[in-house]
Amino acid sequence: MKNAILGKKIGMSQIFTDTGVVIPVTVVEAGPCYVSQIKTEAVDGYNAVQLAFMDTKENRLNKPAMGHLKKANLTAKKYLKEFKISAEGLNLGSEIKCNIFTVGEKVDVSGTSKGHGFSGNIQKWNAHRMPMTHGAGPVHRAPGSLAANSTPSRVFKNHKMPGDWGDEKVTIQNLEIAKVDADRNLILIKGAIPGAKGSVVSICSAVKA
Protein backbone atom coordinates (compact mmCIF):
# COMPACT_ATOMS: atom_id res chain seq x y z
CA MET A 1 0.00 0.00 0.00
CA LYS A 2 1.52 3.31 -1.09
CA ASN A 3 -0.78 6.10 0.16
CA ALA A 4 -3.82 6.34 2.42
CA ILE A 5 -6.07 9.02 3.86
CA LEU A 6 -9.30 9.34 5.84
CA GLY A 7 -12.21 11.41 4.59
CA LYS A 8 -15.88 12.27 5.01
CA LYS A 9 -18.37 11.38 2.30
CA ILE A 10 -20.15 14.54 1.16
CA GLY A 11 -22.44 13.06 -1.50
CA MET A 12 -22.70 12.42 -5.22
CA SER A 13 -22.45 14.87 -8.11
CA GLN A 14 -21.30 14.88 -11.73
CA ILE A 15 -18.57 16.51 -13.80
CA PHE A 16 -18.08 16.93 -17.53
CA THR A 17 -15.02 16.14 -19.61
CA ASP A 18 -13.68 18.46 -22.32
CA THR A 19 -15.63 16.45 -24.88
CA GLY A 20 -18.90 16.83 -22.95
CA VAL A 21 -19.05 13.33 -21.46
CA VAL A 22 -20.75 13.30 -18.05
CA ILE A 23 -19.01 11.39 -15.23
CA PRO A 24 -20.88 10.52 -12.00
CA VAL A 25 -18.62 11.16 -9.03
CA THR A 26 -18.67 10.89 -5.25
CA VAL A 27 -17.30 13.92 -3.42
CA VAL A 28 -15.11 13.13 -0.39
CA GLU A 29 -13.66 15.69 2.01
CA ALA A 30 -10.30 13.96 2.39
CA GLY A 31 -8.11 15.16 5.23
CA PRO A 32 -6.15 16.90 6.32
CA CYS A 33 -4.96 13.95 8.40
CA TYR A 34 -2.09 13.93 10.87
CA VAL A 35 0.37 11.21 11.83
CA SER A 36 -0.45 10.24 15.42
CA GLN A 37 1.76 7.13 15.66
CA ILE A 38 4.44 5.37 13.63
CA LYS A 39 4.82 1.63 14.25
CA THR A 40 8.05 -0.16 13.38
CA GLU A 41 8.97 -3.81 13.07
CA ALA A 42 11.63 -3.47 15.74
CA VAL A 43 9.20 -2.19 18.40
CA ASP A 44 5.74 -3.39 17.31
CA GLY A 45 6.54 -6.34 15.05
CA TYR A 46 5.25 -4.66 11.87
CA ASN A 47 5.38 -1.36 10.03
CA ALA A 48 2.34 0.92 9.98
CA VAL A 49 1.23 4.53 10.29
CA GLN A 50 -1.70 5.71 12.39
CA LEU A 51 -3.62 8.73 11.08
CA ALA A 52 -5.83 11.13 13.06
CA PHE A 53 -8.75 12.90 11.38
CA MET A 54 -11.40 15.52 12.20
CA ASP A 55 -11.20 17.94 15.12
CA THR A 56 -13.34 17.40 18.18
CA LYS A 57 -13.67 18.77 21.71
CA GLU A 58 -11.01 17.70 24.17
CA ASN A 59 -13.57 16.82 26.85
CA ARG A 60 -14.99 14.12 24.56
CA LEU A 61 -11.79 12.07 24.84
CA ASN A 62 -10.46 10.28 27.89
CA LYS A 63 -7.02 10.98 29.35
CA PRO A 64 -5.20 8.04 27.67
CA ALA A 65 -6.52 9.08 24.24
CA MET A 66 -5.52 12.73 24.76
CA GLY A 67 -2.11 11.68 26.08
CA HIS A 68 -1.59 9.57 22.97
CA LEU A 69 -2.35 12.55 20.72
CA LYS A 70 -0.27 15.00 22.75
CA LYS A 71 2.79 12.81 22.19
CA ALA A 72 2.46 13.79 18.53
CA ASN A 73 1.70 17.45 19.46
CA LEU A 74 -1.87 17.10 18.13
CA THR A 75 -5.14 18.54 19.33
CA ALA A 76 -8.19 16.36 20.02
CA LYS A 77 -9.19 14.25 17.00
CA LYS A 78 -12.34 12.22 16.52
CA TYR A 79 -11.05 9.34 14.38
CA LEU A 80 -7.85 7.27 14.48
CA LYS A 81 -7.07 4.59 11.90
CA GLU A 82 -3.98 2.56 11.17
CA PHE A 83 -2.68 1.89 7.66
CA LYS A 84 0.14 -0.41 6.58
CA ILE A 85 1.93 2.22 4.52
CA SER A 86 5.53 3.34 4.43
CA ALA A 87 6.55 5.93 7.01
CA GLU A 88 9.31 7.25 4.78
CA GLY A 89 9.39 11.03 5.00
CA LEU A 90 6.79 11.12 7.79
CA ASN A 91 7.18 12.21 11.40
CA LEU A 92 4.83 12.42 14.36
CA GLY A 93 2.41 15.25 13.68
CA SER A 94 3.09 15.36 9.92
CA GLU A 95 0.16 16.63 7.86
CA ILE A 96 -1.19 14.49 5.02
CA LYS A 97 -3.43 16.19 2.46
CA CYS A 98 -5.46 14.90 -0.45
CA ASN A 99 -2.81 15.91 -2.99
CA ILE A 100 -0.95 12.65 -2.24
CA PHE A 101 -3.32 11.22 -4.88
CA THR A 102 -3.39 12.19 -8.54
CA VAL A 103 -6.08 12.27 -11.20
CA GLY A 104 -6.47 8.88 -12.88
CA GLU A 105 -4.97 6.95 -9.97
CA LYS A 106 -6.73 3.73 -8.91
CA VAL A 107 -7.81 3.52 -5.26
CA ASP A 108 -9.66 1.19 -2.90
CA VAL A 109 -12.38 2.85 -0.81
CA SER A 110 -13.66 1.33 2.44
CA GLY A 111 -16.65 2.47 4.45
CA THR A 112 -19.56 1.29 6.58
CA SER A 113 -22.60 0.48 4.48
CA LYS A 114 -26.04 1.89 5.28
CA GLY A 115 -27.89 -0.05 7.95
CA HIS A 116 -31.36 -1.33 7.02
CA GLY A 117 -32.31 -2.95 10.32
CA PHE A 118 -34.16 -6.27 10.51
CA SER A 119 -35.26 -7.33 7.02
CA GLY A 120 -36.99 -10.33 5.52
CA ASN A 121 -35.68 -12.73 2.89
CA ILE A 122 -37.06 -10.75 -0.03
CA GLN A 123 -35.43 -7.47 0.88
CA LYS A 124 -32.20 -8.93 2.29
CA TRP A 125 -31.51 -11.79 -0.15
CA ASN A 126 -33.66 -10.84 -3.17
CA ALA A 127 -35.73 -14.02 -2.76
CA HIS A 128 -38.94 -14.70 -4.71
CA ARG A 129 -42.29 -14.38 -2.98
CA MET A 130 -44.88 -17.12 -2.83
CA PRO A 131 -47.80 -17.11 -5.32
CA MET A 132 -50.40 -14.46 -4.49
CA THR A 133 -53.35 -16.77 -5.39
CA HIS A 134 -54.40 -20.45 -5.40
CA GLY A 135 -54.35 -20.84 -1.63
CA ALA A 136 -50.77 -19.78 -0.95
CA GLY A 137 -51.66 -17.17 1.71
CA PRO A 138 -51.15 -15.78 4.20
CA VAL A 139 -47.38 -16.45 3.92
CA HIS A 140 -46.62 -14.72 0.62
CA ARG A 141 -43.29 -13.28 1.89
CA ALA A 142 -42.32 -16.13 4.21
CA PRO A 143 -38.94 -17.88 3.71
CA GLY A 144 -40.47 -21.23 2.75
CA SER A 145 -38.95 -24.60 3.61
CA LEU A 146 -35.79 -24.39 5.75
CA ALA A 147 -34.75 -28.04 6.11
CA ALA A 148 -35.93 -31.65 5.95
CA ASN A 149 -37.86 -33.23 8.82
CA SER A 150 -35.95 -36.21 10.09
CA THR A 151 -32.65 -35.85 8.34
CA PRO A 152 -30.87 -33.65 9.23
CA SER A 153 -33.55 -32.42 11.69
CA ARG A 154 -31.87 -29.05 11.85
CA VAL A 155 -31.23 -25.96 9.78
CA PHE A 156 -27.82 -25.87 8.11
CA LYS A 157 -25.42 -23.07 8.96
CA ASN A 158 -25.22 -20.09 6.58
CA HIS A 159 -28.83 -20.62 5.47
CA LYS A 160 -30.18 -17.38 4.04
CA MET A 161 -32.76 -16.21 6.55
CA PRO A 162 -34.24 -12.91 7.78
CA GLY A 163 -32.03 -10.71 9.96
CA ASP A 164 -30.12 -7.47 10.22
CA TRP A 165 -28.92 -6.13 6.90
CA GLY A 166 -26.16 -3.63 6.19
CA ASP A 167 -24.06 -1.64 8.70
CA GLU A 168 -20.90 -3.58 7.86
CA LYS A 169 -17.52 -2.77 6.38
CA VAL A 170 -17.55 -2.72 2.58
CA THR A 171 -14.56 -2.16 0.28
CA ILE A 172 -14.83 -1.27 -3.40
CA GLN A 173 -11.61 -1.80 -5.33
CA ASN A 174 -10.05 -0.09 -8.33
CA LEU A 175 -12.08 3.10 -8.35
CA GLU A 176 -10.59 5.97 -10.35
CA ILE A 177 -9.91 9.46 -9.04
CA ALA A 178 -11.58 11.98 -11.33
CA LYS A 179 -10.42 15.22 -9.70
CA VAL A 180 -8.34 16.46 -6.76
CA ASP A 181 -8.98 19.89 -5.19
CA ALA A 182 -6.21 20.42 -2.65
CA ASP A 183 -7.39 23.94 -1.74
CA ARG A 184 -10.75 22.62 -0.49
CA ASN A 185 -9.47 19.17 0.59
CA LEU A 186 -11.77 17.42 -1.88
CA ILE A 187 -11.33 14.21 -3.86
CA LEU A 188 -13.84 13.31 -6.57
CA ILE A 189 -14.04 9.56 -7.19
CA LYS A 190 -15.73 8.01 -10.23
CA GLY A 191 -18.86 6.08 -9.30
CA ALA A 192 -20.40 5.29 -5.91
CA ILE A 193 -18.65 4.42 -2.66
CA PRO A 194 -20.00 2.70 0.50
CA GLY A 195 -21.68 4.56 3.32
CA ALA A 196 -24.21 7.28 4.00
CA LYS A 197 -23.62 11.00 3.58
CA GLY A 198 -21.40 12.26 6.36
CA SER A 199 -19.86 8.86 7.09
CA VAL A 200 -16.10 8.37 7.35
CA VAL A 201 -14.33 6.44 4.59
CA SER A 202 -10.72 5.41 4.01
CA ILE A 203 -9.05 5.86 0.63
CA CYS A 204 -6.00 3.73 -0.11
CA SER A 205 -3.85 3.05 -3.13
CA ALA A 206 -5.29 0.07 -5.01
CA VAL A 207 -3.72 -3.26 -4.12
CA LYS A 208 -4.82 -4.93 -7.38
CA ALA A 209 -4.29 -2.06 -9.82
In terms of domains, do 167 and 102 share one? yes
Is 152 within a domain?
no
Is 72 within a domain?
yes
Can you give the pTM of this predicted structure?
0.80
Is 103 within a domain?
yes
Range of the domain at 90: 33-95
Q: What is the per-residue pLDDT across 92-141, written as a single tens digit (0 to 9) for each?
A: 888 888 888 888 899 999 999 999 999 999 999 999 998 888 988 788 99
In terms of domains, do 204 and 102 share one? yes
CATH number of the domain that 40 lies in? Answer: 3.30.160.810
Check: CB of residue 39 under 8 Å from CB of residue 53: no
In terms of domains, do 114 and 182 share one? yes
